[in-house]
Structure 1
Amino acid sequence: MNISALLTSAGINSAVCLVFLSLYSILRKQPSNFSVYFGRNLAQVNPTRDHHVRYQRFVPSPSWIVKTWQTPEAEILVTAGVDAVVFLRIVVFSLRIFAVAAFVGIFLVLPVNYYGQEMHHKQFPRESLDVFSIGNVKEGSQWFWAHCIALYITSLTACFLLYFEYKSIAGMRLKHIRTSSPNPGHFSVLVRAIPWKPDESYSNTVKKFFTKYLGSSYLDHQMVYRLGTTQKLMAETEKVCKMLRFDNVDHGKNMVQCALPAGPSGTSKILSREPESIKGKPPFHDVGTASNVKEDAAAFVFFKTRYAADVAAKVLLSTNPMSWVTSNAPEPHDVYWRNLSIPYRLLWLRKIASLVAAIVFVFLFLIPVTFVQGLTQLDHLHHTFPFLRGLFKKKYMSQLITGYLPSVILLLFLYTVPPTMMLLAVIEGCISRTGRKKSACRKVLYFLIWNVFFVNVLSGSVISQIDTLSSLKEMPTQLARAIPSQATFFMTYILTSGWASLSSELMQPMLLIWNVFRRGILRRKDDLCAASFPYHAEVPKLLLFGFIGFTFSVLAPLILPLLLVYFFLGYLVYRNQILNVYTTKYESGGQLWPTVHNTTVFSLVFTQIISLYVFGLKKSKTAGAFMIPLIIFTLLFNEYCRKRFHPIFKSTPAELLIEMDLEDEQSGKIEEFHQNLEMAYCQFTLKSQDPVKSAHLSPPVPSEYLEDPSPALAQQNPTKN
């Protein structure tokens, strides 16, 4: 690929970004689209909208960028939570490290690569991109010291920034736990695999067991129920009630009332739903449906103090490790109730099935990846499709096919990956929504690194030379030869999957189309429900781009300016989406950061090893020898961080829990909290409530964000929880 093909791809994607940003600036001002672009803010208020046609509503303006940029991190922490701040820290970290790498790469490494051999360079637009990679440097050159120094600077800077980010986020997590209001999850333990006894219920078994062995700290328990027809009926009833505006939820009395048709008379029957599972009685007994309710072999057990609950969650309660299995309970709105009914003895089978399904999906994805790689090589296309040779001879068509089309096709296929991995995380048996997203995040990350990076490299260069491989020991050498030649593909991939996808994320095209369909065809005037942030899809994407950036930082540094533009645009887009679009339904306390840290360290070590082999192929033994201390230092740094910070993300320090318990005891409010704790994990009440409205979320839509002169919207007062 030459520079003109890259510029064609950059021009197309830049135009797409500009069009989408302009459209977004206009569409966000329309009152009918408030639920699309301000879902977080409208979750707590229902403002009256000014539908008068005004000139300002149809003119693009960049003021939303200014407001997004000026919003301090402290405000994001209060409104969106620790997870959102940690996600933005990933973007900021990437901006900082690749700014350093780009400066070193462009001014130190790139001239060495370009003038690495005595050759006659073509005119700039016709120049091949290969002359900007390390492959253009002749063997035995003394200028490989530039690459070695650049890699040292990049790696040491990355470790320095990683350390302080890890330390800062760990402190933020502890402060979040320390200063937050009492969380029911801190006093609760999820118990699974409760032994079955024919002469008594699960509820009585739990009560006797914990009264006998942990009676001094045991408070009460709440059984998990499996509902059949009743649960489905009540869920559908609530949806109908909300649609018809008949629901009346009294959170104080913990009762849900709904008007339902009651037979031929046409009168309405009021169903009162008051969970009494903590008293050992099944719910819905007042409507004669107790036969549809069954206890599961799982329960939430409540303790008087946080420390007692933490100890009970970590100790082995029974001589049989497959019974009375305990774990820290997720917060109430974080519980994934469906998976609590899975028998504990089947979880290992589900994990194996999920792993096998993920592997099968990875191999099925080889088909589109191989097809995409075929589009990047015109010689193979001429041979495979001889009737299209006339079309390929046209300059603009060859630039479009090799510079833009492969990345677009791969991007379309990649949209199926996050939902698939989320489904596999559900099959795996995750008991919390944050755990489900964390599992899906890791699966998507492994999938992207293997299929987008390694498979593209292998299918592009190594598979065609597979007959030359005498053993697996040759694989690193083959990768060292192949990776620099694939830099052009990843440049176009960053342009398409990076720049264009970010503008698409800002526009929310699917949600916008659905909103138009609801209002125009279905005549629905209510607002769309705000979704939670898709960490499982966006975090792996950021880490993949970081992996690509580190890998090519010295091999083909021309990729780094493209990455900087992507991360800068991502910083603006993600901040805007977190502040206005996505809502916070549950909080993990930044538990995704260890995954980010480990992936970054893996990227650094992989880059250093590949550079070591590249220096070996280029017969620069001195530069290769200097890579070994850097690899050892990076591994030791990772081990130190794993010992120093990672335990904070696995469990809460007992010192902190005891201090919080002492403060609660001195305040005298703990008894009132214990009384409310019994109803915290009632699955029926939780399903009837809107977790968005019960969370400590953001204030209503500020008029300066909307850029809409509607006075009614600007006068809304913040809702206090």
Structure 2
Amino acid sequence: MDIFRGPDLNSSSSCNSTGSVHVTPSKSQKDLGVQLVLSLALGATALITFCVLRPRWPQLYAARKRRIEPQIRLPELGTSFFGWMPKLYRITEHEVLASAGLDAFVFLNFFKMAIRLFCVMGFFALVVLLPINNRFRDFRPTFGDNKTEDGKDISQLGLSPTLLPLDDDDSSFGMYKGGHHKDLSSERTYLWAYVFFTYLFVAMTMYTINWETIRIIKFRQDYLGSQSTVTDRTFRLTGVPEDLRSEGRVKHLIEKLEIGSVECVTMCRNWKEVDDLMDDRDKLLRKLETAWAKYLQSQNKDKQTQRPGQVAAPANGNPTPHIDEEAGETQRVLEDNTDNPHMMEGERPQTTIRYGPFLLRSRKVDAIDYYEEKLRRIDSKIVAARKKDFKPTDMALVTMDSVASCQMVIQARIDPRPGSLLTKATPAPSDLVWKNTYAMRGIRRLKSWSITTFICILTILWIFPTVFLASLLSFCTVEKTAPAFAAWLKDHPIMYSLLQNGVPTLVVSLLNVAVPYLYDWLSNYQGMISHGDVELSVISKNFFFTFFNTFFVFAISLTGLDFLSKLQDFLKDTSKIPRAISDDVEWLSVFYISFIMLQGIGLMPFRMLEFGSVVLHPIYRAMSSTPRDYAELEKPPVFQYGFYLPTALLIFNLCLIYSVLRWGFAILIFGIIYFVLGYFTFKYMVMYAMDQPQHATGGAWRIICYRIMIGLIIFEIVMVGQIAAESAFVQSIFILPLIPFTIWYSYYFKKRYEPLTKYIALRAIRSTEDHEDAVLMDEQFADEGESRPSQALFRRGSTLDEYREKGVTFVNPSLVVPLKQPWVYRDPPPLPTEEETNTSTEELPSLVMPNTVSGLGIGDANVWRDSGADAA
């Protein structure tokens, strides 16, 4: 029996006057079957393809394992077709923490928490709530215009314009029977079950959050307390007054506090000049390497066109440059991926330079000589710039002699003046965005608020294309714009189901994949100090977008073109919003089931397949021309939590919101499937396939918990509206206290747990000599029936962060990084020594061949060196 009634394909009255009814798909169980078959087909195809390609493409599917330090050992998964699955399952969370870090540990534990919680909730939804809903809530929703099928106004008949139960013997699709409806007063007692399970599920969710938070805090404190990296001993000091802006004065100020010795101080200075020079040098270096690649390819083609045994004559009588014997493979790759039909035999690539007044004069010169000279000149500027004394800013990075001293400073206030000498934790040196360390605080704050405001406005503006796309996908729009196609759909119910059910979920899924790239790009311009902060910001922004557009926009209005009029009504009377949401939530049940099906069963295996990387790899390879380009193709892709976590949080909240309702059991079942598949998929990605260059020390857990609390509040509002729609006001009033209680719980969580997700407790910090403290902490883990994480995790005597930060210091890389030489042949050039980096450009080695090529002599080369090199 169909639970929901969709538009009648054989009745013209199913479409309203606007020509469009519902942004939701049709709502029959048959549609769910079609969506399930489609999702299974997509997922099975991707999974089988992955199992076939995984052992054949280890450079992609085991990229991280091939490049991590040998000390970090990952279990071998083997090359069998399905044999990798049980081995991946047996990887413990201790091994995840040791080899992938805190962020991966927190991310995967969110999936495990969801599985445990929804298994229990799903049991109650299936065993208790499903029989209740089948007995009392066998709904037939009304049309959008609140009229019966024969055009009578429901309000005139005394019927509720929302969801009404039919008689048990009613098998028709009508809203009423003979103009009469059943007395609902005898049936409202079942709504107390809704009240009970709303309280139960809210309590279970909060208990699960508490239990998992305490557990994560213990792992986090033990992990961070057992290590002593330069990051753990360094804090960021902002708001430094002008009279204290020197390394010596800051060191004296901190040591006067008598909380420890200062190891070193890095005063952030205005390094914009040297940073810009390094950026320009990187661009020049790549242009020079591209020119060399073109020339070597031309030489290789010349050799292939010669008769066997004939030696190619060098251009202009110059000696042929030495070609490394190991460069043969690279040259063949370059030849296969680049075609230069315009080049003559033996000719070197040229480039056009402009010089003179207003750069009106131009001349073609040898590209290799030109870029080599430009590189020499910019190297000279960099060497000179590195010796300058740059103006200090109001920020300093202070490294203490111990982790405990650093944590005491971070968790304290050292100056009575507001905004002065503020202390914060410092990200790792490789995680710092150095260009933002010397930006003015006011400018960074202005950029942050401006982009945040722009993103909020943009997210709201996404309503209109979302509603427009949804209205285009409705059957009534098709019937109005393409009657012949609509008639064909009536004769093919499976295709109709795909249009009404599969296509909208696919469009929403693709939108949720595409938009995060835009938000990620915008977040990088907000002036944040670290890449980890950017990642957390992307998670928040993308969740706001996915939740707002996927749930709120669909739930607030079922009619695409009627959205603005409904929005005006809600602005006039906001009390209508809970009732409208509760009514429309029932309509959207099948849509969200289809959405979760597609995300979990259909698209999750594609994430493990890295479909985007596979598709784009030939394109990137065709665009590559230099050895450096090909080496960068071998780097593992970056795992970005901001792209994956928001969708998982959305599905978690959908499972909460629908847990008590008619289709709650189905949404919970497919939600469990989503999180099970997601756990295995993302576990493989973070462990074997993808890199995580930045680490936020598990900071995403705070975002996860607060977003779940938002879902709880929406769940409670929906249940109030659902029960109030049945005129059961007493039961709905009993749910109202949950809303302020959930808000209070968020403040409770913030005060009790959040500090321990940001800082390291002093008692958790220990050295190798702190045996008594270690025994005491072990006893605190004993009551949980598991060993202390450090016993199994850190037996090698080091953590992943300590491996990452071995030998690094808080110094702007632009000041000390060796100046890379052009990568011409297969093997990368050796890094220059510190002495070579600091020499003048006249002493730098040259890659250009002696004399000249392409008909230019030394004297000719000086012409463009003097007149146009700097002007180009």
Question: TM-score interval w.r.t. the shorter chain?
Answer: 0.7 to 0.9
User: Could you list the per-position Cα deviations for residues 46-74 of structure 1 after superposition, in whole angstroms to 9, with x for gaps in the alignment?
Assistant: 9xxxxxxxxx98xx822222221121111
Paired with 1:98 and 1:145, the residues of 2 have a C-alpha distance of 22
Residue 459 (structure 1) shift: 3.3
Corresponding position of 2:432: 335
- What amino acid is the match of 1:183? T
Residue 444 (structure 1) shift: 1.0
Corresponding position of 1:700: none
Corresponding position of 2:211: 164
In structure 2, the CA distance between the partners of 1:688 and 1:28, relative to structure 1 (3 Å rule), is farther
Q: Residue 551 of structure 1: which of 634, 645, 657 is its match?
A: 657
User: Could you list the per-position Cα deviations for residues 66-124 of structure 1 after superposition, in whole angstroms to 9, with x for gaps in the alignment?
Assistant: 2211211111111101211111111111111111222211222223323324446899x
- What amino acid is the match of 2:573? S
User: Could you list the per-position Cα deviations for residues 425-479 of structure 1 after superposition, in whole angstroms to 9, with x for gaps in the alignment?
Assistant: 2222211111111111111111211111101112325836456555112211221
In structure 2, the CA distance between the partners of 1:362 and 1:334, relative to structure 1 (3 Å rule), is same
Corresponding position of 1:696: none
Aligned length: 629
Paired with 1:242 and 1:262, the residues of 2 have a C-alpha distance of 10
1:354 to 2:395 alignment:
no
Which deviates more from structure 2 when the two are superposed, residues 312-321 or residues 608-617? 312-321
Q: Secondary structure at the match of 2:607?
A: helix
Paired with 1:565 and 1:127, the residues of 2 have a C-alpha distance of 32
Paired with 2:382 and 2:685, the residues of 1 have a C-alpha distance of 45
Residue 213 (structure 1) shift: 5.9
Residue 649 (structure 1) shift: 1.5
Paired with 2:553 and 2:370, the residues of 1 have a C-alpha distance of 67
Residue 294 (structure 1) shift: 4.2
Corresponding position of 1:417: 515
Q: Residue 7 of structure 1: which of 33, 39, 48 is its match?
A: 33
Corresponding position of 1:77: 97
Paired with 2:536 and 2:530, the residues of 1 have a C-alpha distance of 10
Residue 219 (structure 1) shift: 3.4
Paired with 1:650 and 1:485, the residues of 2 have a C-alpha distance of 42
Paired with 1:286 and 1:228, the residues of 2 have a C-alpha distance of 9
- Matches for 1:459-498 after TM superposition, within 5 Å: 459-460=557-558, 463=563, 465=566, 469=570, 470-498=572-600
Residue 235 (structure 1) shift: 3.8
Residue 319 (structure 1) shift: 6.9
Residue 239 (structure 1) shift: 6.9
Which deviates more from structure 2 when the two are superposed, residues 609-618 or residues 580-589? 580-589
- What amino acid is the match of 1:146? A
Q: Secondary structure at the match of 1:453?
A: helix
Q: Secondary structure at the match of 1:601?
A: helix
Q: Residue 191 of structure 2: which of 144, 155, 170 is its match?
A: 144
Residue 501 (structure 1) shift: 2.5
Q: Residue 99 of structure 1: which of 119, 134, 140 is its match?
A: 119
Paired with 1:499 and 1:442, the residues of 2 have a C-alpha distance of 25
Structure whose CA Rg is larger = 2
1:211 to 2:252 alignment:
yes
Residue 149 (structure 1) shift: 3.3
Which deviates more from structure 2 when the two are superposed, residues 284-293 or residues 206-215? 284-293
In structure 2, the CA distance between the partners of 1:292 and 1:626, relative to structure 1 (3 Å rule), is same
Which deviates more from structure 2 when the two are superposed, residues 233-242 or residues 381-390? 233-242
User: Could you list the per-position Cα deviations for residues 597-634 of structure 1 after superposition, in whole angstroms to 9, with x for gaps in the alignment?
Assistant: 12222212321222122111112244324424554654
- Matches for 1:577-588 after TM superposition, within 5 Å: 577-588=685-696
8 Å CA contact 1:76, 1:84 repeated in 2: yes
Residue 287 (structure 1) shift: 3.5
8 Å CA contact 2:516, 2:643 repeated in 1: yes
Paired with 1:208 and 1:73, the residues of 2 have a C-alpha distance of 45
Paired with 2:189 and 2:494, the residues of 1 have a C-alpha distance of 40
1:370 to 2:472 alignment:
no
In structure 2, the CA distance between the partners of 1:212 and 1:619, relative to structure 1 (3 Å rule), is closer
Residue 522 (structure 1) shift: 4.7
- What amino acid is the match of 1:400? L
Query: Structure 2 length as normaliser, TM-score?
Result: 0.65
Corresponding position of 1:693: none
In structure 2, the CA distance between the partners of 1:115 and 1:284, relative to structure 1 (3 Å rule), is farther
Q: Secondary structure at the match of 1:483?
A: helix
Residue 176 (structure 1) shift: 0.9
Q: How large is the Cα RMSD of the aligned pairs?
A: 4.1
Structure 2 spans left out of the alignment, 5+ residues? 1-26, 71-77, 137-164, 175-181, 294-322, 325-365, 772-802, 821-872
Corresponding position of 1:505: 607
Corresponding position of 2:706: 598
Paired with 1:313 and 1:650, the residues of 2 have a C-alpha distance of 10
Q: Secondary structure at the match of 2:264?
A: strand
In structure 2, the CA distance between the partners of 1:539 and 1:242, relative to structure 1 (3 Å rule), is farther
Corresponding position of 2:146: none
Paired with 1:99 and 1:660, the residues of 2 have a C-alpha distance of 41
Paired with 1:365 and 1:88, the residues of 2 have a C-alpha distance of 30
1:530 to 2:571 alignment:
no
8 Å CA contact 1:284, 1:290 repeated in 2: no
Corresponding position of 2:231: 185
In structure 2, the CA distance between the partners of 1:25 and 1:177, relative to structure 1 (3 Å rule), is same
Corresponding position of 1:288: 384
In structure 2, the CA distance between the partners of 1:536 and 1:296, relative to structure 1 (3 Å rule), is farther
In structure 2, the CA distance between the partners of 1:689 and 1:571, relative to structure 1 (3 Å rule), is farther
In structure 2, the CA distance between the partners of 1:242 and 1:44, relative to structure 1 (3 Å rule), is farther
Corresponding position of 2:177: none
Residue 45 (structure 1) shift: 7.5
In structure 2, the CA distance between the partners of 1:218 and 1:138, relative to structure 1 (3 Å rule), is same
Paired with 2:399 and 2:482, the residues of 1 have a C-alpha distance of 68
- Matches for 1:90-489 after TM superposition, within 5 Å: 90-116=110-136, 117-119=165-167, 140-180=187-227, 182-192=228-238, 194=240, 205-212=246-253, 214-215=255-256, 217-224=261-268, 225-226=271-272, 227-236=274-283, 287-290=383-386, 294-295=390-391, 297=393, 298-313=395-410, 321=418, 324-375=421-472, 377-383=474-480, 385-386=482-483, 388-394=485-491, 395-460=493-558, 463=563, 465=566, 469=570, 470-489=572-591
1:27 to 2:48 alignment:
no
Residue 484 (structure 1) shift: 1.4
Corresponding position of 1:607: 715
Structure 1 spans left out of the alignment, 5+ residues? 47-55, 129-135, 247-260, 274-282, 665-672, 691-721
Q: Secondary structure at the match of 1:482?
A: helix
Corresponding position of 2:67: 43
Paired with 1:447 and 1:171, the residues of 2 have a C-alpha distance of 32
Residue 642 (structure 1) shift: 3.2
In structure 2, the CA distance between the partners of 1:613 and 1:598, relative to structure 1 (3 Å rule), is same
Residue 546 (structure 1) shift: 0.7
Paired with 2:530 and 2:195, the residues of 1 have a C-alpha distance of 45
8 Å CA contact 1:547, 1:600 repeated in 2: yes
Residue 661 (structure 1) shift: 11
Paired with 2:692 and 2:194, the residues of 1 have a C-alpha distance of 44
Q: Secondary structure at the match of 1:360?
A: helix
Residue 538 (structure 1) shift: 1.3
Residue 481 (structure 1) shift: 1.7
In structure 2, the CA distance between the partners of 1:497 and 1:144, relative to structure 1 (3 Å rule), is same
Higher helix fraction (1 or 2): 1
Corresponding position of 2:672: 564
8 Å CA contact 1:98, 1:560 repeated in 2: yes
8 Å CA contact 1:494, 1:545 repeated in 2: yes
